[in-house]
Structure 1
Amino acid sequence: MPIRLKLTLWYSGILAFVLIILSGSVYAFLYHNTYNEMKGKLQKQGQNLGQQIVQNSVFDPGRLQLDRSSYLQDEYYIQIYNYRTDDGQRSAGLVQRNLLFPYEKDAGKVTEARFVKTSVSGNPFYIYEVPIQATSTQQTVGLLQVGLFVGAQENLLQQLRTILVFSSIMGLLLAFSVGLIMARQALRPIEIVIQAAEQIDKGSDLRMRIAWDGPSDELGRLTDTLNGMLGRMERAYNELDEAYDAQRRFVSDASHELRTPLTTIRGNIDLLEKMWTPALEAEAGRSEPVSEQEALRQEMSRESMRDIGDEARRMSRLVNDLLALARADAGFVMEKKPIELLPLLDDVVRRAALLPRTAQWRPGDLSALEGIGVHGNADYLRQLMFIFIENAFKYTPEGFVRLEATLSGGQAGILIRDTGLGMSPEQIPHIFERFYRADESRGVTSGTGLGLSIAKWIIDEHGGSVEVHTSPGAGTTFTVWLPVAFSVPAI
């Protein structure tokens, strides 16, 4: 729920409470003021008439009567009920209108004077009832009822209720509408701040600032604070970006610089191996026995050259990987052209059979990609396939590795399956991170942890995606999806 609506509802709720209290107070004041005035008049009249009845009935206890002039009063409506004779008398107003006040027929229940508000044939009356008691026995022998017609007062109170309810509702609706408009106007600067912040977030341009030309109130101070924070973030980001650029240049330059000496080292080692191998074979073919010390020296020389050669090749792979990632970080754009996938994969299958491995190489069905082509770089796509295949051989000490293909919804799928070590679900989100290697494989297999990072970069550059299905001890399946650019109809 928006803040402006919450504020408006709070204001409206408070106003509604105030209006209810105020309206109720006004109505209660007028109601009690009106009826208190009538109470005084009725009580005074009732006491006078009660004394008159007692005086007129002294010599005739069986009758309860008033002076005739009392019955002719226009303002008051008088009724007397005699419990002894079970009859009553009414004033002229009641007789003319043919009205009869309701009364308590059980004399034992009428013990004290009281006020009663009632309606007789749709006419509202306010009645003061006075019990008439015999002077000798103090028993209730009759009931005097003096009433006033309160139709005008009730109409006035009804109109007052209508006016108060209607005005309260209209005032509440008006206050809600005005409050909503005012809250919107008051919070509009916050909307401006939010929109500017969203533009900065979406555009990733920290040079933008939030424009504010209003007063230096809380929102003005908030805008100044945000602009200051953006300035500090821009400086920090620029410093980090410069440091990152320097790091990328260093990695790229170091990779370039290291390739030359490593190439020289590998060339010299290969030359030494070629020179030593015939010499050692010739030495072995001589009839003269070789001393144990000489044999040990020759064996150590061969092992040293093999170790140097292996480490040089490993360093070359690492440098090449770092150079590839440095190019990726620098925004290197591959040269792409239309490529048919099936001939490329056939070449990969042929070369993969020559890789060192302990698992079996079982190429699967690739016919689904016959005539299917993508827009890409053939060299990088081969590198992509060999990264996954070499990884599969590396982590599959026994079993097999299979390469398959499928086609689905305009996407060419290349599956690399193995029956190797597998991975846990917690490791999958990290396998494409640089230098990440699963804990179970550290120390068991060699590698730098850069291959899958390069593979992910190649996939992204080709607009593709990759899926991973794995479980510990059950092997892993990588599915590389590449968008189909064209298809050649079969002849």
Structure 2
Amino acid sequence: MSIRLRLTLWYSALLAVTLFIFSVSIYLFVNYNSYRDAKNEIQEQLRTMNIVGSLDYFNGLNLDFNNPFASNVYIQVSNYTNGKFVQSDNLTRANKKFPVPDAKTVREGYVTLKVDQYKFLAYQYPLHLKENKQLVGLLQIGVYTGPIDNYMRNLRTILIFASFAVIAIAFTIGLFLARQAFRPVENVIRAAKSIQNESDLSMRIPRIGPNDELGRLTDTLNGMLGRIETTYNELDDAYKAQRRFVSDASHELRTPLTTIRGNIELLERMWPPALESGLPEEDAQTEDDRRRMTMTREAMHDIAGEAKRMSNLVNDLLALARADAGYQMEKTAQPLLPLVEDVARRAQLLPRNADWKIGNLTAIQNVQVIAHADFLRQLLFIFVENAFKYTPSGHVEMRAIRSQDQAGIIIKDTGIGMDADEVPHIFERFYRADESRGQTSGTGLGLSIAKWIIDEHGGSVEVSTREGQGTTFTVWLPIAFHDDANEV
């Protein structure tokens, strides 16, 4: 629910409560004054009456009363001893009779009497003998309240419908005014959505209306956007410079590292051990010379290993720098089965302790994908090398599956596995599971590169793992062509 609607509902509810109290007050005030006038007529009649009574059980109760208000005031005197009654002329002409309550329940005061469909406000005055206070009769002075009742009913209807009409009009006008008042806020929301969707920090919120709180808020937000844009541009420039540096440094480091690796490998091949040189014994080197030669060969071997590791790291950094720079792969339709078979064949030559198994690949027979062949090979090699690295014993298997318009390559190992909490982080750069740190070599960049390649090919990857029971990676790639369907 929007703020303007909540505000409109709040003050509409407040207006409704105010109107309710006001209407009830008016109704009670008019009702009190209207019936007070009727009571005044009754009291005036009661004051002018001269009541003289005597008890005669044979002749009944005789009362003399004066009735100057013959038009609207109706009088009836009932005798409890013989059941007879005396009425004013207007009540007699109307041929009506006030209902007489039982002598045991009668009380002095005002009551509402209903005669047929007519309502009367009446004052009941019990008549007692002076000698023994015996109840002998009842005086009823009534005023016909039909006009008053109709007036109060009409007033009640008018107040109810007028209140609803006022609330409806106030709600409609209030909603319109609230929309107008909150239009600057809507401009802020639209501008924020545009910035979010289009990433355009140069956009500013239009300034509409007076210099009120919303106007000052708009100015503040525009100033904040300006500072954010400046900071973002500075950071973006720095990030671009960093990407260029990493890319350039990777390019520059590849050449000397390649030279170092080539020379070290050449020296290792050209440096024969003294004991295997075939020289005469008198020309043989001393024990110290042979030890120094052995240490030199070990040092060259270590240098070659570190140079290879640095070369791999530089290649990984170069690949990630390309990804950060938005490098677009040139992809073409590639038959998937020959490419996977080539990876499976070459994977047998990788250093490993686990057995290498090639499972059923017929699911991707005659399947073509839109891909960059070299990067797709690199993707599969990353998962295979990763499986060998974390499988000290057991086996690593590759097989293929198909699901509708997706081709899946499964690389499954029986290695050390991972904790389920680590799975969301394995594709982050330089992340390595705690169980593997210090035990296996690596830079922590391989799976990040694999994820980039998968994303560039419009694919996805599924990970299933359990500690001590191995890990299964399933790489899904969208199929472009296959043997029993047209182009997707």
Q: TM-score range by the shorter chain?
A: over 0.9
Aligned to 2:29: 29
Query: Structure 1: where are the runs of 5+ without partners?
Result: none
- Residues 343-378 of structure 1, C-alpha deviations (whole Å, 9 max, x = no match): 111111111000100000001111111111111111
Q: How many residues align?
A: 484
Pairing 1:75–2:69 present: no
Distance in 1 (CA, whole Å) between partners of 2:31 and 2:478 is: 84
Q: Specify the code of the residue in structure 1 equivalent to 2:413.
A: D
The answer as to 2:452 corresponding to 1:457 is yes
> Deviations 1:11-31 (Å, cap 9, x if unpaired)?
211111111111111111111
| Aligned residue among 269, 277, 300 for 1:283 | 277
Shift of 1:294: 3.0
| Partners of 1:483 and 1:75 in 2: CA distance | 98
Distance 1:395 1:61 in 2: 127
What residue is the counterpart of 1:92 in the other structure?
A: 89
Q: 1:382 aligns with which of 346, 357, 377?
A: 377
Does the CA contact (< 8 Å) of 2:48 and 2:66 recur in 1? no
Q: For the Cα contact (< 8 Å) 1:400–1:418, is it kept in 2?
A: yes
For residue 182 of structure 2, give the secondary structure of its aligned residue in structure 1: helix
Task: With the length of structure 1 as denominator, give the TM-score of the two structures.
Answer: 0.94
Q: 286, 294, 298: which is aligned to 1:299?
A: 294
Instruction: Find the residue that maps to 2:210 and give its secondary structure.
Output: coil
| Match status 1:207 vs 2:202 | yes
- Once the 2 structures are TM-superposed, how far is the Cα of residue 406 of structure 1 from its aligned partner? 1.1
Q: In 1, Cα distance between the equivalents of 2:406 and 2:180?
A: 52
Q: Give the residue type in structure 2 aligned to 1:389.
A: V
Q: Is residue 2:58 matched to residue 1:64?
A: no
* Partner of residue 415 from structure 1, selected from 394, 405, 410: 410
Question: Match of 1:141, SS?
Answer: strand
Q: How does 1:149-228 map to 2 (within 5 A)?
A: 149-228=144-223
Structure 2: unaligned runs, 5 residues or longer? none
Deviations 1:24-59 (A, max 9, x none): 11111111111112212212312433xx222x5389
Confirm or deny: 8 A CA contact 2:430 2:443 kept in the other structure: yes
State how far apart, in whole Å, the 1-side matches of 2:2 and 2:334 are.
54
The change in CA–CA distance for 1:286 and 1:338 in structure 2 (over 3 A counts) is: farther
Q: Please tell me whether the aligned partners of residues 260 and 307 of structure 2 are also in contact (alpha carbons under 8 angstroms).
A: yes
Contact 1:62 1:84 in 2 (8 A): no
State how far apart, in whole Å, the 2-side matches of 1:226 and 1:96 are.
Answer: 86
| Alpha carbons 1:467, 1:479 under 8 Å: kept | yes
Shift of 1:94: 2.4
Structure 2 letter corresponding to 1:21: I
Query: 1:282 Cα deviation (Å)?
Result: 3.1
**Which residue does 1:11 correspond to in 2?**
11
How far off its partner does 1:87 sit?
2.2
1:114: how far off? 0.4
For residues 90 and 159 of structure 2, the distance between their equivalents in structure 1, rounded to whole angstroms, comes to 34
> Does the C-alpha gap of structure 1 residues 68 and 306 become closer, same or farther in structure 2, counting only changes over 3 Å?
closer
Percent identity between the two aligned chains: 56
Provide the C-alpha distance between the structure 2 equivalents of 1:160 and 1:489, rounded to a whole number of angstroms.
83
CA RMSD of aligned residues (A): 2.1
1:100 maps to amino acid: K
Question: 118, 124, 129: which one pairs with 1:129?
Answer: 124
In 1, are the aligned partners of 2:274 and 2:285 still within 8 Å (CA)? no
Alignment of 1:311 with 2:306, yes or no, is yes
The aligned counterpart of 2:355 is 360
- Deviation of 1:314 (Å): 0.6
Over 3 Å counting, the alpha-carbon distance change for 1:455 and 1:268 in structure 2 is same
CA distance in 1, matches of 2:109, 2:411: 102
Q: Please tell me whether the aligned partners of residues 79 and 89 of structure 1 are also in contact (alpha carbons under 8 angstroms).
A: yes
Q: Distance in 1 between matches of 2:113 and 2:195?
A: 74
Counterpart selection for 1:428 from 423, 426, 448: 423
Paired letter, 2:45: Q
Q: Is the 8 A contact 1:328 1:457 kept in 2?
A: yes
Alpha-carbon distance change, 379 to 326 in structure 1, aligned in 2, over 3 angstroms: same
Which amino acid in 2 is paired with 1:432?
Answer: F
Which residue type is aligned with residue 283 of structure 1?
S
Distance in 1 of aligned mates of 2:69 and 2:180: 69
One-letter amino acid matched to 1:416 = I
Q: Secondary structure at the match of 2:334?
A: strand
How far is 1:198 from its partner? 0.5
Tell me which amino acid in the other structure corresponds to 2:311: S
Give the Cα–Cα distance (whole angstroms) in 1 for the partners of residues 255 and 344 of structure 2: 31
Q: Conserved in 2, the CA contact under 8 Å of 1:465 and 1:480?
A: yes
Q: Which one-letter code corresponds to 2:441 in the other structure?
A: S
- Where 1:487 maps in the other structure, the secondary structure is coil
- Cα deviations across residues 267-302 of structure 1 (Å, max 9, x unaligned)? 11111111113x546337765676432332232122
Deviation of the 1:432 alpha carbon: 0.9
Alpha carbons 1:42, 1:128 under 8 Å: kept: yes
Q: Which residue of 2 aligns with 1:103?
A: 100
Distance in 2, Cα, partners of 1:264 & 1:210 = 58
| Aligned CA distance change for structure 1 residues 344 and 280 (closer, same or farther; 3 Å) | farther
Aligned counterpart in structure 2 of residue 329 of structure 1, from 324, 333, 341: 324
1:62 deviates by 5.9
Tell me, yes or no, if structure 1 residue 44 matches structure 2 residue 44: yes
What is the SS of the residue equivalent to 2:328? coil
Matching of residues 108-119 of structure 1 within 5 Å: 108-110=104-106, 113-119=108-114
Shift of 1:181: 1.7
